[in-house]
Amino acid sequence: GQQLNQSPQSMFIQEGEDVSMNCTSSSIFNTWLWYKQDPGEGPVLLIALYKAGELTSNGRLTAQFGITRKDSFLNISASIPSDVGIYFCANAGGTSYGKLTFGQGTILTVHP
Amino acid sequence: KAGVTQTPRYLIKTRGQQVTLSCSPISGHRSVSWYQQTPGQGLQFLFEYFSETQRNKGNFPGRFSGRQFSNSRSEMNVSTLELGDSALYLCASRQLMNTEAFFGQGTRLTVV
């Protein structure tokens, strides 16, 4: 089945630094979703991307849908301690909108 | 608008028992999907329901089952529990024809 390769697996940064993570796949997709999960909680949808080349922002977060439709990037600018958590990319295969495949996640630690 | 609600938040069960988890979707969302999250396997799709019918199924044994009611609320059941079933079980709801899925806080199941 389809797999999403997310990198890096973990990041340790200082408060105020910018963060970049990405997700790649061998398959072409029409949608990319980015989620953040805090410990013991469910994932929260951050950004949804629907078009190749699309660049979308949500506050300090910016995500891009790769031109090849096989990858996506998430950037966080000027990180703060509450950015700590696990970030996941996800997408749905074909017409199975309700069946999301997730990347392995990027664990972000922000040192004050 | 209320988010996705999952009950209970925590459960401890003994091997061999069965368990039922409940999910109330966001009002107006007709699709409900269930996911299992473990440290080793990450987030894995279990099944999706809409219009009271299972539409997609992940690669899990028949011990995992679900159903959806006419008000879109959903339940999942796990029979003959095994230690390996210990996980965070997440429910997500979405509007049909939209991939954006919104997750509940999850039910943490511990099998002893």
pLDDT per position as a tens digit, A85-105: 999 999 986 667 788 999 999
Residue B95, C-beta contacts closer than 8 angstroms, at least 6 positions apart: B28, B29, B30, B31
Residue A62, C-beta contacts closer than 8 angstroms, at least 6 positions apart: A55, A56, A74, A75, A77
Q: How many CB atoms lie within 10 A of CB A71?
A: 18
Q: Is B29 near chain A, with CB under 8 Å? A: no
pLDDT for position A1: 54
Over residues A58-85, mean pLDDT: 96
Nearest-CA distance from B73 to chain A in Å? 16
Mean pLDDT of chain B: 96
**Segment A37-57, tens digit of pLDDT:** 998 899 999 999 999 999 999
Q: Identify the residue with better confidence: A3 or A85.
A: A85
Closest-CA residue of chain B to A48: B100
